[in-house]
């Protein structure tokens, strides 16, 4: 399940509640449509209730924010000032929140070599639902990356592992369609457990790494670079004998 975080600004003056999100939306709609009947339909209410609602809208001096002439409503000068103040403050606060909390998320991925291939999982949810990927996930608060990759591998594959070495850090901002996710990629050594799917993975399998299939995220590139480095170290080791 996905969650969103939101807030509603309340504009107060001299202890009075002058404007909130619901009132601001009504005044914005009024700016676009002055006919009370049509406006009532857009706001899913009736004209009588809408008149009463607008009549109650006052600034801190008690001056009306809306004027009504027969079936036409319009913002007063005070109404325009209050709505501008509300929208400007709401925009400023939202920008501050996004600037403060819009940071990259830290994730982990595990490379597990097994039976001449590499362990992958089939993703059971978006993004890339149904595609193969390396086992991994988001680091929880209070965890080290090493603890996180052991936990994620266990949850998704059933295997008990330990990190053998850090392979790479992947930080390209567009590598995940959900946002900026930075991943620490580890080579994992199996020390127990039984291969089975679980958690966010609908299936778990061992696939050959030559040729590599098209994996989710940038996992194909991760494995290509890993095996290229592995082969280079192997060739260098042979030449030094």
In a domain, 70, yes or no: yes
pLDDT of residue 4: 60
Which CATH number do you get for residue 47? 1.10.10.10
Residue 186: helix, strand or coil by DSSP? strand
Residues 86 and 164 in one domain: no
Backbone angles phi, psi at 7, to 5 degrees: -145, 160
Residue 122 pLDDT: 94
Q: What's the confidence (pLDDT) of residue 6? A: 65
The rounded distance, in Å, linking the Cα atoms of 87 and 109 is 42
Global pTM reads 0.61
Enumerate the active-site residues: 203
Show the CA angle centred on residue 36, arms to residues 89 and 21, nearest 5°: 20
Question: What is d(CA 126, CA 191) in angstroms, rounded to the nearest whole number?
Answer: 30
SS3 content of the chain, % helix, strand, coil (to 5): 35, 30, 35
**Whole-number pLDDT of residue 137:** 94
Contact 168, 225 (CB under 8 A): yes
Mean pLDDT of each 10-residue bin along the chain, 241 residues long: 65 87 90 85 88 91 91 91 90 77 90 94 89 95 96 95 98 92 97 85 88 94 93 68 60
Domain count, the chain: 2
Domain, as residue range, for 186:
105-239
Of 83, 101, 119, the last residue of a domain is: 101
Token readout for 153 is 């591998």
């Amino acid at each position: 399940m996905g969650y969103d975080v939101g807030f509603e600004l309340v504009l107060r003056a001299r202890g009075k509640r002058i404007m909130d999100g619901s009132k601001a939306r009504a005044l914005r709609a009024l700016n676009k449509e002055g006919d009370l009947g049509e406006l009532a339909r857009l706001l899913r209410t009736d004209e009588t209730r809408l008149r009463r609602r607008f009549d109650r809208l006052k600034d801190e001096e008690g001056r009306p924010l809306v004027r009504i002439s027969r079936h036409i409503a319009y913002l007063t000068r005070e109404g325009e000032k209050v709505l501008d103040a509300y929208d400007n403050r709401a925009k400023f606060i939202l920008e501050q929140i996004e600037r403060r909390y819009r940071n990259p998320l830290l994730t982990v991925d595990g490379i597990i070599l097994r039976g001449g291939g590499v362990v992958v999982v089939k993703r059971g949810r978006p993004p890339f639902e149904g595609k193969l990927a390396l086992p991994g996930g988001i680091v929880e608060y209070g965890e080290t990356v090493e603890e996180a990759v052991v936990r994620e591998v266990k949850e998704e594959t059933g295997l008990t592992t330990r990190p053998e070495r850090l392979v790479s850090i992947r930080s390209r901002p567009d590598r995940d369609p959900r946002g900026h996710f930075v991943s620490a990629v580890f080579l994992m050594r199996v020390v127990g457990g039984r291969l089975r799917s679980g958690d966010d993975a609908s299936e778990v399998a061992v696939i050959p790494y030559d040729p590599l299939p098209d994996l989710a995220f940038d996992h194909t590139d991760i494995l290509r670079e890993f095996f290229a480095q592995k082969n280079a170290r192997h060739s260098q080791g042979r030449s030094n004998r």
